[in-house]
Amino acid sequence: MIRVLLVDDQALFREALATLLATRDDVVVVGEAGDGEQAVRVAAEVAPDVVLMDLRMPVLDGVAATRRLRAEQPGVQVIALTTFDDDEDVFAALRAGAVGYLLKDVSSARLLEAVHAAARGESVLQPSVAAKVVARVAALPDAQRRPQPLVVPLSERELEVLRLLADGRSNREIAGHLFLAEGTVKNHVTNVLAKLGARDRTQAALRARALDLI
């Protein structure tokens, strides 16, 4: 069972999320919080696997709460779930340790997929957010880009996909090798390209080698 903590200052939205997650047999909502301070306190009590975290809340905002959660409970995976995708919010949340960033208009299927991915230690980025990561990395001068750590690190699964991608494997071949659905591999490739700031698979492989990732 994936243990989920819901953090949002809107009770109605938390209720809707809880109802959605209750449709799954492998997910259980273990707690709710209406602000970041309460989220940190409740997380210490219920030990969630995944936290769905709003960013703009009273008392303690979602970025600060994410930072504290990651420091106090490194095993907890946080997905920012918010209405806003401006650069300041996006990169603040990712730097604080969020493994995902989704907007509240995300489909229920995508949200459930994100919860499972986060529980596996993988990241999920809204397409608009992935584009921002690409733009941020691409804007760096080559001299800074090569040795500099990634804005968002690759998960172990994404590294596996990257290594096979660099070997010239297709999505179907990667899926067969890793026993994954082809659609899941496609999502991983999208995230890998975004995190590396690469336009295509070839550029991703080149940048990965320059950064000693493969």
pLDDT at 137: 59
CATH class name, domain 2-124: alpha beta
pLDDT in tens, 61-117: 999 999 999 889 888 999 999 998 787 888 888 888 888 899 999 889 889 988 988
Q: What is the CATH number of domain 130-210?
A: 1.10.10.10
Domains of the chain by residue range: 2-124, 130-210
pLDDT at 148 over 60: no
21 CB-near residues (< 8 Å, 6+ apart): 4, 27, 28, 29, 112, 115
Q: Is the pTM of this model over 0.85?
A: no
pLDDT at 45 over 90: yes
pLDDT band at 43 (very low <50, low <70, confident <90, very high): very high
| CA distance linking residue 32 with residue 140, whole number of Å | 40
Give CA separation, 168 vs 21, 103, 137, 161, 201, in Å: 38, 33, 23, 11, 9
Would you say the CATH fold of 130-210 matches that of 2-124?
A: no
